Amino acid sequence: MQRRPGFPAKLPVSGNAAMGKPVVPPASAAQRKPAVAAAPAGVGLDSSAVRARMVQKLAAGGITSAPVLQAMGAVERHRFVDSALVNQAYEDTSLPIGLGQTISKPSVVARMCELLLGAESARHGGLGRVLEIGTGCGYQAAVLSLLAREVYTLERLRGLHDKARDNLRPFRLANVHLLFGDGMLGYAKGAPYAAIIAAAGGDAVPLAWCDQLAVGGRLVAPMALSGGQQMLLVIDKTPHGLKQNVLEPVHFVPLKSGIA
């Protein structure tokens, strides 16, 4: 296999407790690309051990996909939060990332990734191109980079787009494409997508997302139902049309239009 320049698989991964050691049997894409940063952050955290505990809890909570557990065990979540919050980085909680936004809970990230891998198109040769709406701090994009061939991720707030770029730089993930723009419009240039995942919830699925989804592709997004309750929604694009499933209640920041 030909390696691309800057591929994280080239990075040294042994001998440093802050680097991500595999905590479950490696699988597929996650095996090829350990998402460890190029330089230690110096937080004095034995992050691989706390991440392993987080992964055990995710498995106990019902996450069964080996590639998802592997990816969650590999990505150093503490590098995506403010230094004051580092000791909470592996708790199952959302945390502030600035500008009124939050990094999603690990259990929610894992759940949504597992749902994406359930897409019809992912059953034959893995997940292809994925579009993420709401880059935030870039954490979920890093997880997705281990599960999909290409990740296009859109953020509408310039400050967070820049922050995600800074956060992701040391990971050198050649398959993550950070885009600044209004995710309500999707990103037509990368379409069609094997999967679309939204990290912010509106009260309707923008038409552009359905248009940009490949046949066999799957969209996973929080959506407010008529009563106002936000629920996790899965839409599969089949050769016969769109099939929608409403899953459990969730709590995401609002999907907003325009850029700022």
Residues with a known catalytic role: 104
Is 89 a binding residue for ligand SAH by CB under 6 A? The answer is: no
Is 7 in contact with 46 (CB distance < 8 Å)?
no
Is 45 in contact with 37 (CB distance < 8 Å)?
no
Q: Of the listed pieces 12-20, 24-32, 59-67, 129-137, which binds ligand SAH according to CB under 6 A?
A: 129-137
Q: Least distance from C-beta 18 to ligand SAH, angstroms?
A: 20
Is 73 a binding residue for ligand SAH by CB under 6 A? The answer is: no
Q: Least distance from C-beta 2 to ligand SAH, angstroms?
A: 30
The number of residues making up the chain comes to 260
Cβ proximity to ligand SAH, 59 vs 253, nearer residue? 253
CA gyration radius for the chain? 17
> Residue 26, exposed/middle/buried by CB under 10 A (0-12, 13-18, 19+)?
middle
Backbone angles phi, psi at 66, to 5 degrees: -60, -45
Is 103 a binding residue for ligand SAH by CB under 6 A? The answer is: yes
Q: Least distance from C-beta 86 to ligand SAH, angstroms?
A: 15
Q: Of the listed pieces 20-28, 56-64, 111-119, 152-160, which binds ligand SAH according to CB under 6 A?
A: 152-160
Q: How far apart are CA 234 and CA 230, in angstroms?
A: 13
What value, to the nearest 5°, has the Cα angle with vertex 237 and ends 233 and 242?
70
The residue within the footprint of ligand SAH, chosen from 119, 133, 214, 221 (CB under 6 A), is 133
Tokens representing 105? 């809970």
Cβ proximity to ligand SAH, 186 vs 216, nearer residue? 186
Three-state DSSP at 208 gives helix
Half-sphere exposure of 205 (CA within 13 A, CB side): 25
Pairing status of strand 176-180 against strand 193-198: unpaired
Residues 6+ apart with CB under 8 A from 177: 150, 151, 152, 153, 190
Q: Of the listed pieces 30-38, 41-49, 96-104, 113-121, which binds ligand SAH according to CB under 6 A?
A: 96-104
Cβ proximity to ligand SAH, 21 vs 256, nearer residue? 256
Scan residues 183-242 and list those touching ligand SAH (CB under 6 A): 183-184, 199-200
Cβ proximity to ligand SAH, 119 vs 197, nearer residue? 197
Q: Of the listed pieces 45-53, 57-65, 132-140, 216-224, which binds ligand SAH according to CB under 6 A?
A: 132-140
| Number of chain residues interacting with ligand SAH (CB under 6 A) | 25
Q: How far apart are CA 203 and CA 140, in angstroms?
A: 22
Q: Least distance from C-beta 71 to ligand SAH, angstroms?
A: 13
Is 160 a binding residue for ligand SAH by CB under 6 A? The answer is: yes
Q: Least distance from C-beta 3 to ligand SAH, angstroms?
A: 27
Q: How far apart are CA 45 and CA 86, in angstroms?
A: 9
Half-sphere exposure of 124 (CA within 13 A, CB side): 5
Q: Which residues bind ligand SAH (CB under 6 A)?
A: 97, 101-104, 133-134, 136-137, 139-140, 154-157, 160, 182-184, 199-200, 253, 255-257
